[in-house]
A and B are shown apart, each in its own frame.
Chain A
Amino acid sequence: MSFQSNPLCSGTGLFESSYAAQSTPHAVFKPLLALFLGVMMSLLLNGNSLAAEHVIQLTAEETRDDGFGNKLLAYKMLSHTIGGTNVTHRYSTEATIPGPTIELTEGDTVKISILNAIPGNNVPVPGISKQVSIHVHGVHYDILSDGTLKVINKLFDEGAGAGLEETYVVYEYKWNVAPGTAGTWAYHDHNFETHNGAEHKGLFGAIIVNPIGAPQYAKEYVLYLGDDAFWGMEINGANKKQSKHGPNPTLSAREDTRVRFHLIALGTDIHTFKLDGYHWFDPGTHNLINQAAIGPLEKHVFSVKAEHSSQYEDKNLSNRLLGMRGKFNVQ
C-alpha cells in the first residue's frame, strides 16, 4: 500500500497543486519509504486482525471573542469513521479547547485531513502563513505528514490555507499507529502565522493510543496545563462521549471507579501538578508520587481509584495565585 498520497487537492483553479514539485526534490526517498512502510504495515496487519482504519476530518475555527475583541482558535471534529463506522457523535459539535480527543489502538492506521475555517485563510500574505496544520506526537508518519511549513520540512507547506509558499484547501496526513506508540500524545498546529504555529492560541488536542487489550476506565480526563489555566475535557468510558471542554473544568467520577488522567503541558510555563489527597505511579515506574513536574508538550498519564472529592492544581507561583485549579468531584 502506498502510505502517503497527500496533499489532497480539491483541484480548484485557485489553489496550486504541488504534484509537479513533489516529484523533484525528494523523488528518491519517497518510493523507498512507501515500500518500507508498506512491508512493515502488511506485517503488522497480518499479525493483528483488530487493526482499524480511522478516517477523520478536522477543521480549525476562531472562537467567540472574549467580549473585548480577542479571539482564540480551536479545532472541531467534522467526521470520524472507524473501519467505516461513524463515531462522530462522540464529539462536541462545536470547536473546543482542547480539540477532540482521538482514541486509537496500537496497530490502527489514520487518515486525518484538516480544513481551515478561519476567516481570510486562503488569501496569501507575504511573510505570514494563514495555514493551520496538525502536527502529531508519538505515532509514525513520514515527512509529508509532519504538519510543518516548507521552511522546516524543505518540501511543502503541510497545512490547509495559504502558507508561506503554497496554498491547500485540504491537507491530509497519514498516521501509522505502530506497535511501540502506545501512550497519550499531543497534536497541535505548527503553521499558523509563523513556523511555530498557534498551539498557544487554542489549536491543540490529544490522541490516546491504547495497547491492545488495555484496561477500560470509567472516565478519562484530558487536562492541558496552559500558562494560566487547565484546558480540560472528560470522556465517558462506556459510551465514549466527550464533554466538559474549557478552562479549569469540574471533573466528575463515581466512587470506587477507576479513572485516568492524561496531562499534557503547553505554552511557556513549567508546572508542578498536584491532585490533593491522591497518589499514583510515576509513569513507567513503581514509585508512588503525589505531584509531578511537567514541561510544555510532556505527557504524564496515570490512573487512580476515585475515592474522595478533591481538587487538581498547578503549584507554579503565579499560576496558583491566578487560581489555576479545578474540582474533582467523586460521588
Chain B
Amino acid sequence: MFSKREDQYRDDKDNTMNTSTPSRFNRPMLQGAKWMVVVVAFLASSVAWAAVHNIALTAKALPNGQLAYALGGNEAVIPGPTLFVKKGDTLSITLTNSTEVKVGFEIPGLSAQNAGRINPGKTKKFTVKANKEGAYAYHGDMGGKELLGLFGAVIVDKPAGPVDSYIEANGNIVPVSQAQLDKQFVLFMVGSTFWGTEISSDGTQKPLWANPNPGAVENDIVRFHILSVGPGHTFHLHAHRWLKTGTREIIDTKLLKEEFDTHSFTIKAGSGVGAGDWQYHCHLIAHMEAGMHGSFKVDPVGGDGASLVGASPYGRILLGPKDEPGLVTFEVSDEPASWFRSARGDAIVKLSDPAANGSPLQGVDIKTKSLEVMSPGSSVNFIMSDTNGAHTISSLLWPTGAHHMPFDQSSAYRGGGIVKLDTPGLYVFTCKVHPYMFAAVIVDDPATPGLDLGNPQQDFKIDLVTGIKGLPTSSDLAIRLLQTFFITTAPPNWQDYSSGVWNVRFPTIPVQISGAPRDPNLTEGGIAAPLSILNVTNQTLSFGSTPVTPGVGEVWANTQFEKTAHKYKPGTTTVVDTTNWTVKRKVALPQINNNNPHNMWTSRDQSVIYQTQWFDNKLSMIERETGELIKNIQVGYSPSHVMTLPTNDDITIAINGENGIYIIPAGTTKVSKMLPTQGQGHISANPHGHWISSDGSKIVTPNINTHDIGIYGAQGGIQARTPTSVNAPGAHPIAIGMMPDSSKIFAANLLHHSLSVLNESGELLNTINLIDEYDPMTGPVDKNGNGEFELGILPIQSPVSPDGKAVVIATMGGSIVIVDTATEKVVKTLPCDPGCHGANFGAKQGGGYYAYVTTKFSNRLTVVDIDPNNDGDISDATIAGHVSLVDTPHTAKDDRMSELPGFGGQGVLAVPNVYNGWVQKLPAVWKAGLTSDQQNPIGH
C-alpha cells in the first residue's frame, strides 16, 4: 500500500477543486485554465467543476537498475502511480528527475502543453488536459528507454454515471459506477512481461510487480485497465468475456497496437464459469513462449481473493533491499558487447572498481554489463528496448537438473522475456539470430561458499543446449565458455592492436565449480576460487606485417562495432586498398543512423555495394567509388547476408529474423517478393549466411532456427531441407560455401563445431568434426601427433575458394581452419584473434587467391594465402600478413570515429568479385586486373 487515488496525490496549496465531490461532475466539462474555472464557480455554483490535479512525480532508478516513477515521497513503482481523473480535469505534473538520464513526460492521446526532456537533477512542470475519456499511458518520452519502467496509467472517466458495463452470466449487460467496483487492476504489457497494480475499492494502490497473479472473489466486479508501450500484443483472459469499448460486441481477446495502446473493461469474476486459476496472457505465440502470462485467481465465495505479488525490482537480487522474490532485468541492445545489458550494468561496473571506496563491491573488478546475480526463486527479465532488430532469448547453458530449461521461443520476434529461476547455478542466455549476444545470471544458494556456477545438488555441473549433460564446471570446455563470455561482453578485454598489449580481467569474486581443483593455485577447500585466476596481464600484441604481394582492388570489411560521433547506433565499413594495404575509406552513414552493418555484396558492374543492417530492418545501397548512400531500403527484421544472382544480378537478402529471402530486382530499389524458406505453417527457418550456385539456379541457406540446410530454386520452391544435427540437437548451421561448379555445399555448424558436406541435391555426404583434437574435460590433444592442435571451435563463415580447392573457415574460438574440398580433411589450422568471424576470397596480384578474414574482438584483418607457391597444393596455406582496420589521417570518411576503432569485423567482400559465375560478368576494366585463370577459375 503506498498511496490513495485522487485525494492523496494532491498538493493542496495549488488546488482549486476537490474531486472527492463527484456529484458536481454531472455536466459537460469546461475547457480552459484554472482562472476560468474559478470564475465560472462564482457565477453558477451548480455548474460542473473541472479539477486541477497537482501531482508531484519523481523519476528514480530502482535497486535492479530499472527506472520508475514515485508519487510524492512514496516508493517508486512499476507501473507508475495510476492517476484517476474525470473528463475535463487538468493534470499539472511536477516532474523531478532523480535518474542519471534525461527524462520527459508524455501522454499520447491527450494534449500536453509542455514537452521536452529534463536533465538529471532538474524539475519541470507539465500540464495535460484530460479532454477525452479512456485509459491513457503516460511515459518518460525517452525513445525506447521508457520501457525500462517509466510508464503508468491515467484513467479518465465520465464525470458522473456508469464508468463501464459488464456481462452477466445470463448475457445481460449491466452498467457499473465507480463505487460498485470491488477492485481494479492495471496491467501493463511491456516487452513480454506484465507489470501490475491493484487498486482496492477505497482507492489504495498496491504494486503487484512483474507477472503477478491478481486475485478476486467469485462475483466481484473487477475492472481491468490493460495498457501497452512498445511492440504490440493481444490480451486474453481465460473463461471471461467483456465488451469491445463503446459497443455491445462481446470479446475475450484484444489487440494492443504497437507503440502505445490501452483497453479497459469490466467483468464479474467467475461469472458463468466459477472459481479457478484462470490464466491471462499475451496471445502472440512468441510472447507466450517468452513467459508472458499469469493467473487471475478467482476464489470461491468466502475466500479472501488476495492477489499474489510477482517478481519485484526491490527483491532478492545482489544488493537488493527486500526479502521478497526479486527481478533482474536485461535491456536487449544494439550496443557492442552489451547486447544484453543489465539495467544496472553501468552502476555495477562503477561499484566494482578497485578505487570505489566504500562500495559494497569495491575491487570486485567487473568489466561486463551482462552479468547478474540473484537468489533462487527470483526472476530474470528481458526487454528489447534498445534494438531495432528481431531476436530470441534462448538458453545456451543452465545448471544440471534446472526446471523449465531450455528457455526458448519458436521464432524470432520483438518484445522481451521473463523466466523464474529456482535452481542455483549459472544460466547463460543468447539470441539464436545473433549468437554472440550473451547474458549470464548466477542464481546463488546463500548456503554455499562462493557463487555457484553449477547446481550444488549435482556437483555444480551444467547442461548445454547442444545435448551435453552434466558437464563439470571444472572442465576445459566450461572454463572456455566462461572466458568467451567475459571477453565477448567486455570491450576492455578485447585485443586492440594500437595499444600493443592485451589484458583480460575477470571478476575477483570466488566461485564454486565442480570436483577437484583444476588449477594448482586452487588449494583451499578445493573448489571455491576467484575467476580472476584466469586473468591475462599485459600480454604483448604484435601486429605483424602487411602481405608482401598486393591483392587486386579493394576489400570492404564491416567493422560492425566501431562507433562514430554523429550517430548512436554502432558500425562502419572499412575499405582497404589492397595495392598498399591501407585504410582508404570509412563509411559510417550517420544520416541514416547506420546500425550494425553486417554483410555485403556488389552489383555486377561493381559500382554499388549492398549492405545489410543486421540489428535493424534495412538494406543500404552505397556508391562504391564515393562511399555515398544511394538508398536505405526497408526489408524484413534482422537481414543478415546479401548476394546477387549471377544470372540476372537480382539481389537476394536472407531475413535472419523472419522466414524467407527478400528479392530486389536488379536496377530497382524496391522489394518485389519474399521466397519462403519453409512450407506454409511450418516453424520459421530464420536463414543466416546463404550462398548461391554459380549458375544462379539455387539459393542455399543455413537455417539457424530449424538446424537444417535449405535448397531453394532461385525463383522459389523448396528443393531440399537437410538437418545437419547428427546424433545431438542444436547444430546451428550459420554459413554456406559452395564449390564453383556447385557440386558440393559446405555448411558451418556453429554449436556443433563441424562442417557439413552436402551434394547439390541436398544429400548429407559427410560431417567434418572440427574439434576432433579437443577433449571437453582436459582441453586440446594432439591426436595426430603433428605437433599442432587443430581446433575449430564455433565455426562461422566458410567460403570455398573460387578455384574450388579450399574451404576457409573463420572460427570464433580464434582459428582459421583450411579444409581440402577433395579429401574433406582439415589440412591446416592457422591462428586468428578472438571472435574470428568473416571470410571471403579476393584475387591476389599475379594469380591465386587471398582469403580475407575478419575478427570481432580485435581490429586487424588477417590475410590468408591458400597456396603461396601456386602449386595447387593447399597444405602450405599460410598467413600472408595482417592489415590494420583503424583509420589514419589519410582515410576518407563521412563521420569522425569515436570508440572501438576498427572493431567488430564481420562481413567482408573483395572487389572485384572473383567467384565463378560472377567473375565472368565483370566489366572489362575490372577483368584487366585479373589473370586468365582468375577470369575463368575452373576453366571451360
Chain A residues proximal to chain B, CB less than 8 Å: 26, 28-29, 32-33, 36-37, 40, 43-44, 66-70, 72, 97, 106, 127, 135, 137-138, 140-143, 146, 148, 152-154, 176, 178-183, 185, 194, 196, 199-202, 226-229, 231, 247-248, 265-268, 270, 283-285, 293-299, 317-318, 321-323
Contact = CB atoms under 8 A, between A and B. Distances in A.
Contacts of A185: 252
A267 B411 CA distance: 10
A43 B272 CA distance: 13
B392 to A, nearest CB: 11
Nearest to B277: A154
Interface in B260-286: 272-279, 283-286
A316 B270 CA distance: 37
B170 A180 contact: yes
Given A29-B274, A178-B272, A229-B681, A294 B252 contact: no
A299 B241 CA distance: 13
A177 to B, nearest CB: 11
Nearest to B288: A196
B251 A141 contact: no
A28 B169 CA distance: 21
B233 interface: yes
User: Which of A40, A97, A140 is the most central at the interface, judged by chain B CB atoms within 10 Å of its CB?
Assistant: A140
Given A28-B300, A72-B681, A321 B671 contact: yes
A127 B402 CA distance: 11
Contact of B277 (A153, A199, A227, A284): A153
A178 B170 contact: yes
A116 to B, nearest CB: 20
Given A181-B250, A283-B244, A323-B673, A33 B684 contact: no
Contacts of B289: 194, 196
A40 to B, nearest CB: 6
Given A68-B720, A146-B276, A199-B285, A321 B673 contact: yes
B236 A322 contact: no
User: Which of B287, B680, B720 is the most central at the interface, judged by chain A CB atoms within 10 Å of its CB?
Assistant: B680
B681 A268 contact: no
Nearest to B276: A143
A284 B413 contact: no
Interface stretch (B76-84, B561-569, B656-664): B656-664
B286 A228 contact: no
B275 A29 contact: yes
B681 A247 contact: yes
Contact of A296 (B234, B249, B660): B234
A70 B257 contact: no
B855 interface: no
A268 B285 contact: yes
A270 B255 contact: yes
24 contacts: A66-B678, A68-B720, A70-B721, A138-B241, A142-B273, A143-B239, A143-B273, A143-B277, A152-B295, A153-B276, A183-B249, A196-B285, A196-B289, A202-B681, A267-B284, A283-B249, A294-B255, A295-B234, A297-B234, A298-B234, A318-B636, A318-B660, A321-B671, A321-B673
A283 B252 CA distance: 14
A29 B411 CA distance: 40
A293 B674 CA distance: 22
A268 B234 CA distance: 10
Contact of A322 (B234, B249, B660, B718): B660
Interface string B159-179: 000000001111111000000
B170 A68 contact: no
A266 B284 CA distance: 7
A231 B276 contact: no
Contacts of A299: 251, 253
Contacts of B287: 268
B47 to A, nearest CB: 33
Given A196-B289, A201-B681, A179 B171 contact: yes
Contact of B674 (A176, A179, A270, A318): A318
B253 A140 contact: no
Given A33-B274, A140-B239, A142-B273, A40 B169 contact: yes
Given A32-B274, A143-B239, A299-B251, 12 more contacts: A32-B300, A37-B274, A146-B238, A148-B279, A152-B295, A153-B277, A176-B272, A226-B681, A270-B234, A284-B244, A322-B659, A322-B676
B657 to A, nearest CB: 10
A299 B838 CA distance: 47
B312 to A, nearest CB: 22
Q: Which 6 A-B pairs have the closest CB atoms?
A: A284-B249, A180-B171, A284-B247, A179-B171, A143-B276, A295-B255
A136 to B, nearest CB: 9
User: Which of A69, A178, A294, A299 is the most central at the interface, judged by chain B CB atoms within 10 Å of its CB?
Assistant: A178
Contacts of B286: 268
Contacts of A176: 272
B248 interface: yes
Contacts of B658: 318
A178 B169 contact: yes
Contacts of B285: 196, 199-200, 266-268, 296
B679 A66 contact: yes
Contacts of B272: 37, 40, 140, 176, 178, 180
B258 interface: yes
B655 interface: yes
A283 B738 CA distance: 54
A32 B718 CA distance: 57
B134 interface: no
Contact of A70 (B167, B241, B301, B678): B678
B254 interface: yes
A304 B903 CA distance: 59
B940 interface: no
B13 interface: no
Contacts of A29: 274-276, 300
B410 interface: yes
A33 B169 CA distance: 13
A265 B253 CA distance: 11
A152 B294 CA distance: 9
B255 A268 contact: no
User: Which of A37, A143, A185 is the most central at the interface, judged by chain B CB atoms within 10 Å of its CB?
Assistant: A143
B255 A298 contact: yes
B682 interface: yes
A38 to B, nearest CB: 12
Given A295-B232, A295-B283, A247 B680 contact: yes
B221 to A, nearest CB: 16
A185 B660 CA distance: 31
Nearest to A154: B277
A268 B659 contact: no
Given A29-B274, A141-B239, A180 B168 contact: yes
A249 to B, nearest CB: 12
B634 interface: yes
Interface in B639-689: 655, 658-660, 662, 671-674, 676, 678-684
A247 B676 CA distance: 14
Contacts of B634: 317
A67 B285 CA distance: 26
Contacts of A36: 274
Contacts of B403: 127
B662 A140 contact: no
User: Which of B169, B283, B300, B662 is the most central at the interface, judged by chain A CB atoms within 10 Å of its CB?
Assistant: B283
A121 to B, nearest CB: 20
